[in-house]
Structure 1
Amino acid sequence: MKELPNREIACLDMRSFYASCAAAWEGLDVMKTPIAIIGNIERKGGVVLAASPPLKEKFGIQTGMRLYEIPDDPSIHLIEPKMQFYIDISMELTRLLNRYVPKEAIHVYSIDESFIDFTGTEKLWGPVEQTIARIQDEMYRQFQLHSACGIGPNMLLSKLALDLEAKKTGMARWTYEDVPDKLWPVSPLHKMWGIGRKVERTLEDMGIYTVGDLAHASLDRLEKKFGVMGNQLYYHAHGIDYSTLGSVLIDQQVSYGKGQTLLRDYVTTDEILTVVLEMCEDAAMRLRLAKKRARTVQLSFGYSKHVHGGGFQRQQTLESSTDETLVIYRVCIKLFETYHDGRPVRHISVSLSNVEDANSFQLNLFEPLQGKQEKLGHVMDELRQLYGSKAILRAVSLTPGGTADRRSKLIGGHYK
């Protein structure tokens, strides 16, 4: 086994980031004021994107709930998101970190979370805990943002220290020696970063219920069941991670997809397929930009709550991989015609999996125009990257059922 990494990696998370930014904008105290960030205040079904601690504790409102579930209480502040403002604040936080470490030592994991390598900074700033406390103090004084930080010898343990301890205490350090006492008792398994509900169910079917069970499971058995991910699960259960800063820590990106909840029920075939085509366009573009092709196309529908919900999720695997929008769309049409039962649709998603590198695909001698279609797709991608997603649209996106034009005005799914 390689020598275990032993660096000073910190995982810094802004607590209640969206609510805190909104509170600062409005001149409120996020720790004392019930605040809900609502995706669309004009709609009773608007989603709660973020909730301040008082809103969670006093009223039981959590992220993901709906506007109509929030009590009609005058103390509650309902605020629409200002996505560009949040992005600007996130960039300023990164600049603050850059005063303590070089840019190469910062990996922005999400808008409110970053990994920082403090290895060697002790000579400049003193002990790492002291440096982080100083940074946290500056973030609060400048931006009124509270934060939590996990510290570990690698990215994995710093993240686990954050999620499982520091979010309650403000700061926590985990070492390899802490793994048996702090990590192995963790249950249910989805509490460990990198294990989703589906993997958790599979592990439970194997008689594995805690991280300790996972750490003591047979490596051969895990690899046989999960492949490469089984190896990763085993070593992560021991706190071992060889990822370098900025690399993919949980390497499970095996699909590319796009989905959206519609603003109203879609009933007609033309409107539904318009959105499906837009989803295919977006998903295929992600494939092309990643220099990948996919063989399996999955179409998922969620039906309207007015017809008691439900839906379907079906997929088809092609003989050869593709990154062409219309090839993917034709598969979706076939799935739609086979499985859609005519009920109004409220959610649509398209997912592409069974992915391989673009330069490894097999040419199809029976489709001589394949090269032209491929070039056309890349040209459209370049135009959108240069001039924005509205630079080139399919005509159906301008019909009443199209959503691409509206979505082009959004940042992170919300208006700027």
Structure 2
Amino acid sequence: MERAYLCIDLKCFYASVECVDRGYDPFERRLVVADPTRGPKTICLAISPAMKALGVRNRCRVFEIPDTIDYEMAPPRMRRYMEVSADIYSLYLRFFSPEDIHVYSVDECFIDVAPYLTLYRKTPRELAVDLVELVRRETGICATAGVGTNLFLAKVALDVTAKHAPDNIGELTEETFKCKIWPHRPITDIWGIGPGIARRLEQLGARTLGEVALLPEQALYDEFGINAELLIDHAWGIEPCTMAEIHAYQPKAHSLASGQVLACDYTFDEARVVLQEMVDGIVLDLVEKGLAGGHVSLYVGYAHERRGWGEEDEGAGGRTFTGEHGTRVLGREAPHAAVSRKLEQTTNSRALLSRRFLALYDEMVDPNRAIRRVNIGVGALVPEEFAGLTLFTDVEAEAAEHRLAQTTIAVKRRFGKNALLRGTSFKPKATARERNEQVGGHHE
């Protein structure tokens, strides 16, 4: 059977949803999705195609939009975007089995159309045209599509060639891939190659995917380790992974994580309060899922001492990269502190996890630096019935704590996440109450 995949993306999805809901044409209305309460430095989550046509970069900050452009700002409505995404997914299910669909993100998915070519008596491109027209007709959202003989080619066709196609549909095979993509620049347009990997490839003498294909394989393995296998395959347009293998994949280990970017600079003590709230939240997640963890990790990102990533940084010897997610300096990591530790016992106890996380925080974080990001994780997860005990474990106290957690979960599930809170969440600069009313870090 011929291998054929589609990769479908919803163009400027958040902004298009806002335009359609307001009765606008996304290709004519200048609209930006951003939270006006977060000030001019907030990131635009999406801009309408009409804004892109004026040269405005997606994922820019509000203050970067030229003053000469008049536009409308729409606050993010994450729940609404999820609803529209689910509606569009239901359109795909009219024609394809869920076993042949892989949802890649809220606005993008892959479809294995090979089993349906005979059934519908259409080529992969004709199926892509039908789906794009269906989405536009039913929802008013413009979709773009990539057609390829493997998943990687479908993704690259979407990201690179569909942008220049009059019908918003790109198509690649292993042979046309070499002609169209090998010489393409910038190489960061290729899926899986970010600015960091691009910089390392350039040091090896490769600025295009064609030049990567000509590099000695051993040089790539020396630089990237096992990940070089992926680069080598993609340089030749090869992707052996199938849709069935994606659905059958089972990770060797599981973890739960929580993270947030703080709205302003936090002091050592203020961020410590936020950390405690995050630990409380992840403990409830563990109890609700019936899991216990044996490994913890903590990441704290400091505020930059210099302003932004502009000419000052570049003049200091750094090279800047501007992409879909803003501008940053290549070859320089943001200042941070990070640590991970194995626990003495597998647990989902709030007392034990709080004590461990706060001890790590006090040990590793510089109390004299402002903090802008906090991330925590609990790994090596197992069913809670396998939670470990030590000679010092207070079994009765842990059982009482577990019952309290289960009761808290029941109350929150029935009356809302803010129905029952610890006193910590009422301290100045605490964030849990506000985040409990958000979806994806934004107000609903």
**TM-score for the superposition, normalised by structure 2:** 0.75
1:162 corresponds to 2:158: yes
| Deviations 1:25-49 (CA, angstroms, capped at 9, x unpaired) | 1111111121111123573444311
Aligned-residue offset at 1:235? 2.1
Match of 2:77 among 59, 72, 82: 82
Aligned-residue offset at 1:150? 0.5
Aligned match of 1:102: 97
Amino acid at match of 2:26: V
1:145 corresponds to 2:141: yes
SS in structure 2 at match of 1:159: helix
Match of 1:179 among 169, 177, 180: 177
Where does structure 2 lack aligned partners over 5 or more consecutive residues? 309-332
1:318 corresponds to 2:341: yes
Partner Cα distance (1:276, 1:380) in 2 = 22
Partner Cα distance (1:74, 1:206) in 2 = 42
| Deviations 1:152-177 (CA, angstroms, capped at 9, x unpaired) | 12222111111111133211121122
SS in structure 2 at match of 1:138: helix
Partner Cα distance (2:213, 2:205) in 1 = 13
SS in structure 1 at match of 2:147: strand
SS in structure 2 at match of 1:121: helix
Which segment is superposed worse, 149-158 or 284-293? 284-293
Distance verdict in 2 for CA 1:142–1:376, change over 3 Å: same
- For the 8 Å contact 1:294–1:352, the answer to whether it is kept is no
Aligned match of 2:267: 267
SS in structure 2 at match of 1:92: helix
Partner Cα distance (1:157, 1:378) in 2 = 48
Aligned match of 2:330: none
Match of 1:401 among 405, 429, 432: 429
What pairs up with 1:363-374 in 2 under 5 angstroms?
365=390, 368=393, 372=398
Partner Cα distance (1:248, 1:22) in 2 = 36
What pairs up with 1:5-404 in 2 under 5 angstroms?
6-41=2-37, 43-58=39-54, 60-71=55-66, 75-125=70-120, 126-169=122-165, 170-219=168-217, 222-223=220-221, 226-238=224-236, 239-244=238-243, 246-247=246-247, 257-267=257-267, 269=269, 271-281=270-280, 295=295, 297-303=297-303, 308=307, 312-320=335-343, 326-327=352-353, 330-331=356-357, 333-336=359-362, 338-345=364-371, 347-352=372-377, 356=380, 358=382, 365=390, 368=393, 372=398, 389-390=417-418, 393-404=421-432
SS in structure 2 at match of 1:240: coil
Structure of higher RCO (CA pairs closer than 8 Å, 6+ residues apart): 2
- For the 8 Å contact 1:50–1:62, the answer to whether it is kept is no
Partner Cα distance (1:157, 1:335) in 2 = 44
Aligned-residue offset at 1:221? 5.5
- For the 8 Å contact 1:295–1:317, the answer to whether it is kept is yes
How many aligned positions are there?
406
Distance verdict in 2 for CA 1:134–1:335, change over 3 Å: same
Where does structure 1 lack aligned partners over 5 or more consecutive residues? none
Partner Cα distance (1:229, 1:248) in 2 = 22
Distance verdict in 2 for CA 1:176–1:70, change over 3 Å: closer
Aligned-residue offset at 1:219? 4.7
Amino acid at match of 2:368: G
Aligned match of 2:438: 410
SS in structure 2 at match of 1:120: helix
| RMSD after superposition | 4.1
Which segment is superposed worse, 14-23 or 116-125? 116-125
- For the 8 Å contact 2:136–2:142, the answer to whether it is kept is yes
SS in structure 1 at match of 2:373: strand
Distance verdict in 2 for CA 1:272–1:175, change over 3 Å: same
**TM-score for the superposition, normalised by structure 1:** 0.80
Aligned-residue offset at 1:291? 6.8
Distance verdict in 2 for CA 1:153–1:329, change over 3 Å: farther
